[in-house]
Amino acid sequence: MATKKASSSRAKRSTTKSSAAHRSTTRVAKPQMSTVVDDEPVVVTPVARTVAAAAEMDDAPIAKMTFSEKVSGLRPGALLGELLGTFILAGAVISLAQNHYYGAVGIALILAILVVVFGVVSGAHLNPAITIAQYVNRRIDGVKAVAYIIAQVLGAVLAFVVLHAIFTSTYDNSIMTALAAQGVTADQVNAAGGLAKFAAQTPYATVDGVAKALGITPFISAALTKGQEWVTFFSEILGSAIFGLGIGYAVFKKNKTAIETGLAVGVSLFAGLMIGGASVILNPAVAAAIGGFQWVNPFAAGAMTFWWPVFIYILGTCIGMTAGFTIYRFVLKDAFAKK
């Protein structure tokens, strides 16, 4: 009897193992894709495709942290990099934007270099709209986004202050030199009570009017053309969306060099400037640096003088940038998912 029970027990265990093996075999035998490499089949499972896609795309959201952890995670070097990078970029726009075509090429090349230089320091956003687009797509947290935007605006405003001081220190001398070439002496200007009063006695009325008549370009200003506000608004959205596609490549595409990243950002900026037209800026901080915003009472008569630049250079730019950035993210994800 003992022998029979032992035999029965072994049979049951054998049957159980056989069933387990059968179930294991059943679980493994799921639909798979096979390719052939060197005449040997290579099984590519859905998990393997996901891993391969992850190796080509950086789409992982930021880790959840407390507010204090986010604040302590801010790196002073990154904030300084954003400030300095935006300072240089805004200075380039102020100096080069007078010529739309050659200036756009120069600005795009300078931005490409800045991305290579500051990319390893802060990610080289250098643009509040880029920072907002990354925040919306969960690439950075809110604390970092606010800190970056403050640094960017400070950098752009500092560029305006420095370059405006340099420009005004030589502006009057340039006008006096041009007047001398027209036969107007310094004694005549002084006798009139100075350059401003001399200009008031001319048909041009102001110093800037005299400068323009003499071919001297005044400090850059991004004042909107009246009656063209809606056109400028949609142009800003379009140009920013094109620019955002290049930013999407720079952020989401893995296995690329710093030079490839810089070129993608620079070329996409150039494309956005060209397609958007002469009125687009594609950077709210730079718009502030070149006089894009009009600081008048936003609730008095003529308040749209204040609100139109806000709609165009903040809202429009952020909408376009976020749209282009997000579109590239999902296009890239879909492309890898189908491989």
| pLDDT higher than 50, residue 33 | no
Instruction: Please provide the distance, in angstroms rounded to a whole number, between the alpha carbons at the two ends of the chain.
Output: 63
Average pLDDT over residues 75-83: 95
Identity (one letter) of the amino acid at 110?
A: I
Question: 108 is written with which tokens?
Answer: 């795009």
Average pLDDT over residues 163-190: 84
**Angle of helix 100-122 relative to helix 258-276, nearest 10 degrees?**
140
pTM: 0.77
Query: In the structure, what pLDDT confidence band is assigned to residue 35 with cuts at 50, 70 and 90?
Result: very low
Average pLDDT over residues 131-158: 95
- Distance (Å, whole) CA 244 – CA 282: 10
Among residues 159, 135, 142, 151, the alpha carbon closest in space to that of 219 is found at 159
| pLDDT higher than 70, residue 99 | yes
| pLDDT higher than 60, residue 234 | yes
Report whether 316 contacts 224 (CB < 8 A).
no
Average pLDDT over residues 309-336: 92
Predicted confidence at residue 285, as pLDDT, reads: 94
Average pLDDT over residues 181-210: 84
Mean residue pLDDT of the chain comes to 82
Query: In the structure, what pLDDT confidence band is assigned to residue 339 with cuts at 50, 70 and 90?
Result: low
- Distance (Å, whole) CA 102 – CA 116: 22
Provide φ and ψ at 77, rounded to 5°. Answer: -65, -35
| pLDDT higher than 60, residue 24 | no
- Distance (Å, whole) CA 79 – CA 150: 9
- Distance (Å, whole) CA 265 – CA 278: 19
Q: What does the pLDDT look like over 264-322, one tens digit per residue?
A: 999 999 999 999 987 899 999 999 888 788 877 888 877 888 899 999 999 999 999 99
CB under 8 Å to 2, separation ≥6 — which residues? none
Predicted confidence at residue 338, as pLDDT, reads: 64
Predicted confidence at residue 65, as pLDDT, reads: 83
Domains in the chain: boundaries: 67-163+221-337, 172-213
Spell out the alpha helix ranges (H) of the chain. Answer: 2-28, 46-56, 67-72, 76-96, 100-122, 128-136, 142-181, 186-191, 195-200, 207-213, 229-252, 258-276, 284-289, 304-310, 317-337
Report whether 209 contacts 215 (CB < 8 A).
no
| pLDDT higher than 90, residue 79 | yes
Average pLDDT over residues 97-107: 84
Predicted confidence at residue 23, as pLDDT, reads: 47
- Distance (Å, whole) CA 148 – CA 136: 14
Q: Is 231 left (phi over 0), alpha (psi -120 to 50) or beta?
A: alpha
67-163+221-337 folds as Glycerol uptake facilitator protein (1.20.1080)
Of all helices (H) and strands (E), which one includes residue 41?
Answer: strand 40-44
| pLDDT higher than 80, residue 52 | no
Predicted confidence at residue 313, as pLDDT, reads: 94
Q: Which of 37-51, 67-81, 115-129 has the lowest mean pLDDT?
A: 37-51
Percentage of residues in the chain having pLDDT higher than 70: 81
Average pLDDT over residues 25-40: 44
What burial letters (b/e) apply to 162-173, b meaning 16+ CB within 10 Å?
A: ebbeebeeebee
CA 257 to chain centroid: 18
- Distance (Å, whole) CA 285 – CA 95: 16
Predicted confidence at residue 73, as pLDDT, reads: 84
40-44 and 33-37 strand pairing: antiparallel
CB under 8 Å to 55, separation ≥6 — which residues? 254, 255
Among residues 118, 162, 133, 151, the alpha carbon closest in space to that of 285 is found at 151
Predicted confidence at residue 201, as pLDDT, reads: 83
CA distances from residue 237 to 74, 158, 233 in whole angstroms, order as listed:
31, 26, 6
| pLDDT higher than 50, residue 212 | yes
Residue 311 has what DSSP assignment?
A: I
